[in-house]
Amino acid sequence: MSGISRRAALSASALLVTAGLALAGCSSAPSGSDAPESLGSISVGATATPAGEILQHLIDSGQAADAGLDIQIQLYSDYTTPNQALSDGTNDANLFQHEPFLDTYNEEAGDDLVSVGQVYLPPLALYSKSVDDLDDLPDGATIAVPNDASNESRSLLLLAASGLIETTDAPTTIADITANPHDYEFSEIDAASLPQALDEKDAAIVNFNFASAAGLSSDLQLLSEGEDSQYYNILATRADLEDDPRVTALYALLTSDETKQWILDQYDGLVIPAA
């Protein structure tokens, strides 16, 4: 074969290989209808249980990837830092609080964080390690309640609804108790420390996330909120991100039928998904 013929043959072969690779690339790429539109990354602040676990489920189940959303979870162990981190731009959204708590934060901080919508209810409950039934709680019993304004109000309303005490229409502290027929002794304690308070107190009202993290089971509950509670936890964000496609997509995933069923199964009904 002449040099010219050999070069022509090699050029032809190279063209065939190039064409084959191009065709292979076209055949392996997903069609536009199959590939999700990339919404990008969203940083979400959350307490570990159940908010962090629910967000992690969105990742593990593939729901986030299917929606083209990259969820970055940042966990917090208190109720103060998450809203500050959302406000200063560290996070794009958070999941840990109910709307009354958010309203109180906005008023005190002069902020304008907004609720995207309800996600789940972690019922507040009265726990005890010393008695098994509410009727067995003795007169003069020591009861610990959370010391942040919204959850202390929530605790007092729970006790009042059960007839254990009477309060003003909108109680915020134990000073708003108007009748205490059983002479209970109340202590106001940081919410994260309430599970440990059960070793010293007759009973304590504990938020679900701290109760779960401390291994407190439903068997220790003397009293719990029901589905009619106004304290469903919400997805919150900054006002400028309220209509952001990432936030909208995240809320849709958090309230999908698949996620609702997972919440019911995972927490044996102790966490109630929003309707």
Nearest to 136 by CA among 182, 194, 185, 189: 182
Banded pLDDT at 150 (limits 50, 70, 90): confident
Domain boundaries defined on the chain: 40-122+231-273, 125-224
User: For residue 268, what pLDDT is reported?
Assistant: 84
pLDDT digits (tens, 9 = 90+) for 32-77: 445 578 999 999 999 999 999 999 999 999 999 999 999 999 999 9
CB atoms within 10 A of CB 104: 17
The residue-averaged pLDDT of 262-273 equals 92
CATH number at 40-122+231-273:
3.40.190.10
CATH architecture group of domain 125-224: 3-Layer(aba) Sandwich (3.40)
CB atoms within 10 A of CB 201: 22
For the chain, the straight-line distance linking the first and the last C-alpha, in angstroms and rounded, comes to 79
CB 120 within 8 A of CB 263: yes
Residue keyed to tokens 């919508």: 117
The model's pTM is 0.75
